């Protein structure tokens, strides 16, 4: 009897986990659709990506000047 009860509990847990997985998948698809509509790849952290791009542009602009200085001082 105890084995049967454990099996039933196990199957109930599996069904619950499958249901949660489906809910999470649905929410993920909704989030992806909403972010596509907004025109961003990620809803969370999009501001950080923008500021990082600005910093990269500044670094890229400074690099050629630094390289030129190194070559002329040799």
Q: Are residues 39 and 68 in the same domain?
A: no
Q: Are residues 5 and 37 in the same domain?
A: yes
Q: Are residues 2 and 34 in the same domain?
A: yes
Q: Are residues 30 and 63 in the same domain?
A: no
The pLDDT assigned to 37 comes to 92
DSSP labels for 11-70? HHHHHHHHHHHHHHHHHHHHHHHHHHHHT-S-STTHHHHHHHHHHHHHHHHHHHHHHHHH
Question: Look-up: residue for tokens 């790849």?
Answer: 41
Q: Which domain holds residue 60?
A: 48-74
Q: Are residues 36 and 52 in the same domain?
A: no
Of the pLDDT bands very low, low, confident and very high (cuts 50, 70, 90), residue 12 is very high
H or E segment and range at residue 10: helix 2-38
Write out pLDDT tens, residues 27-71: 999 999 999 999 865 555 555 555 566 667 666 666 655 555 555
Q: Are residues 31 and 1 in the same domain?
A: yes
Q: Are residues 1 and 26 in the same domain?
A: yes
Q: Are residues 6 and 37 in the same domain?
A: yes
The pLDDT assigned to 72 comes to 59
Report the domain count for the chain. Answer: 2
Q: pTM, whole model, 2 decimals?
A: 0.46
The pLDDT assigned to 4 comes to 85
Cα 39 to the chain's mean position, in Å?
A: 15
């Amino acid at each position: 009897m105890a084995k049967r009860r454990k099996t039933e509990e196990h199957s109930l847990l599996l069904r619950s986990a499958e249901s949660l997985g489906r809910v999470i998948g649905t929410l993920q698809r909704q989030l992806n659709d909403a972010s596509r509509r907004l025109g961003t790849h990620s809803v969370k952290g999009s501001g950080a990506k923008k500021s990082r791009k600005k910093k990269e542009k500044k670094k890229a602009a400074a690099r050629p000047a630094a390289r030129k200085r190194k070559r002329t001082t040799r």
